[in-house]
Amino acid sequence: MFQNNIEYARKQDAEDSLASFRNKFHIPKNDFGEEMVYLCGNSLGLQPKITSEYIQEVLNDWAKFGVEGHTEAKNAWLPYHEFLAENMAKIVGAKPSEVVVMNTLTTNLHLMMVSFYQPTKTKYKIVVESDAFPSDKYAVESQLKFHGVDIKDALILWKPRKGEELCRFEDLEEIMKQHGNEIALLMIGSTNYYTGQSFPLKKITELGHKYKCMVGFDLAHGAGNIQPNLHETGADFAVWCTYKYLNSGPGSLGGCFVHERHANNEKLNRFAGWWGHNKKTRFNMRKDFDALPGAEGWQLSNPPILSMAAIRASLDTFAEAGFENIRKKSEKLTGYLEFLLDEMKNEAINVITPRNPEERGCQLSIQVKNADKRLHTKLTEAGVISDWREPDVIRIAPAPLYNSFEDVFKFSEKLKEVLKK
Ligand SMILES: *Cc1c(COP(=O)(O)O)cnc(C)c1O
């Protein structure tokens, strides 16, 4: 059904109901003022043009009101995080009370593990997918160490089989059969940053709960990319960042999900701060900690409003496009990329990401035989911004909000050229 020519790609763009959204973003240009082919939204999403207005509004209110901005600002700072909850909840398929924007991803992961990893003498192991993102691995290992648990004994890796790149659900089932009674937590990246594989979150949650384990997901590569339907999966918690597919700017705040069944769960440990305290008495200052129900109760500090303004701008853009439309375009756009790679019939390249659209987001990870980082440099020189992961993988992520079918076509032509050299 797809065709390998630029006229076809342009026709798809002309018929794309989301095509106009590209104009709402700043697209990086080369020294000659030509737009680059930006396929790196999995690492840092592009800047929506409205972001500067949203941030300027906060700067203006701060100039105008000083401290009074907490209540007098156009969008008051005191409840500012609440303006984000509803749109963010839609993106991850949760109820607004289950979602809060706060801190950054790794910080939230630690806070969640403080609450959801409470090892006992007999139930203390943690399962992670092998080749998890380094920060997740460090966080999990340091939590084990913090509890005095031997990492070698307690950390179980869900690994691809020999000679394979992807993790199989049956192998996780086998791990649970063997060690389920000793496992306290399953901590899985929803969409693996390296392979692009999206895991079956609901099945994993049900499996974990069958063995009375807590289940948490890292949605760094899921949020804004796939629909994780967090509430429905029943997961205990999830964390994510907003600077990748959610286009909220470098180092912007993270998101956190706590399932509503834990909204008032007093059995959970918690590292607390004043922003998680009952809003009515927060400023009385001398009260004992009285946790807000739901995810908000995990907040520590009064948040950076300037950064939240960028998140608001981005979420408004997502809401305008509608996540279902975004996902629909994403499947087609990535399908087109896959088609063009197949058409190259080049034995040196191998897409390691699953072929089934339900098992992936927009990213395809392309393994290139005998290649090294010079390939990535050549692509950059040819005007493609992509991402290289050692030892031999280029990650290409056409983001449906701002990437076009023409971008994908141009990339495939440039890759062909570069591989010939
Ligand atoms: C991007 C990413 C991170 C980064 O964590 P920060 O705390 O935001 O720096 C962590 N984990 C995964 C899986 C990621 O993809």
What's 32's domain CATH number?
3.90.1150.10
Indicate if 247 and 291 belong to the same structural domain: yes
106 C-alpha to ligand 1 centroid (Å): 6
For residue 131, the model assigns a pLDDT of: 82
Q: What is the mean pLDDT of each run of 10 residues along the chain (421 residues)?
A: 97 98 97 96 98 98 98 96 95 98 98 98 96 90 97 97 96 98 96 95 98 98 97 98 98 98 95 93 84 96 96 97 97 98 94 97 95 91 94 96 98 94 74
For residue 103, the model assigns a pLDDT of: 97
Q: Is 136 in the pocket of ligand 1 (CB under 6 A)?
A: yes
- Residue 395, domain member (yes or no): yes
When divided into structural domains, the chain yields a total of 2
Indicate if 198 and 227 belong to the same structural domain: yes
> Using an 8 Å Cβ cutoff, are 148 and 177 in contact?
no
Q: Is the dihedral of CA 5, 10, 15, 20 positive or negative?
A: positive
- Residue 70, domain member (yes or no): no
Closest CA to 125 of 150, 106, 105: 150
Instruction: Identify the domain containing residue 143 by its residue range.
Output: 79-319
- Residue 367, domain member (yes or no): yes
- Residue 71, domain member (yes or no): no
Residue nearest to atom 14 of ligand 1 (CA): 220
Q: Is 395 in the pocket of ligand 1 (CB under 6 A)?
A: no
Indicate if 304 and 213 belong to the same structural domain: yes
Q: Is 221 in the pocket of ligand 1 (CB under 6 A)?
A: yes
Rounded distance between C-alpha atoms, residue 195 and residue 182, angstroms = 29
Q: Return the bridge partners of 102, or none.
A: 254
Indicate if 135 and 281 belong to the same structural domain: yes
Indicate if 108 and 193 belong to the same structural domain: yes
Where a domain ends, among 301, 319, 337?
319
Which one of 102, 105, 252, 389 would you pick to mutate in the ligand 1 pocket, going by the greatest count of ligand atoms within 8 A of its CB? 105
343 C-alpha to ligand 1 centroid (Å): 34
Where a domain ends, among 289, 319, 349?
319
Rounded distance between C-alpha atoms, residue 147 and residue 346, angstroms = 50
178 phi/psi in degrees, rounded to 5? -80, -40
pTM for this predicted structure: 0.96
Indicate if 231 and 122 belong to the same structural domain: yes
- Residue 20, domain member (yes or no): yes
Indicate if 149 and 165 belong to the same structural domain: yes
Tokens of 310: 């960028």
Indicate if 289 and 406 belong to the same structural domain: no
Closest CA to 383 of 417, 337, 347: 417
Concatenated DSSP letters of 159-220:
-PPTT--S--HHHHHHHHHHHGGGEEEEEEESB-TTT-BBP-HHHHHHHHHHTT-EEEEE-T
Contacts of 184 by beta carbon, 8 Å cutoff, 6+ apart: 117, 118, 119, 120, 123, 124, 125, 126, 213, 214
Indicate if 336 and 306 belong to the same structural domain: no
Indicate if 40 and 163 belong to the same structural domain: no
32 phi/psi in degrees, rounded to 5? -95, 10
CATH of the domain at 97: 3.40.640.10
Which one of 109, 113, 136, 199 would you pick to mutate in the ligand 1 pocket, going by the greatest count of ligand atoms within 8 A of its CB? 136
- Residue 64, domain member (yes or no): no
Indicate if 218 and 331 belong to the same structural domain: no
347 C-alpha to ligand 1 centroid (Å): 33
- Residue 63, domain member (yes or no): no
- Residue 131, domain member (yes or no): yes
Indicate if 218 and 95 belong to the same structural domain: yes
For residue 342, the model assigns a pLDDT of: 97
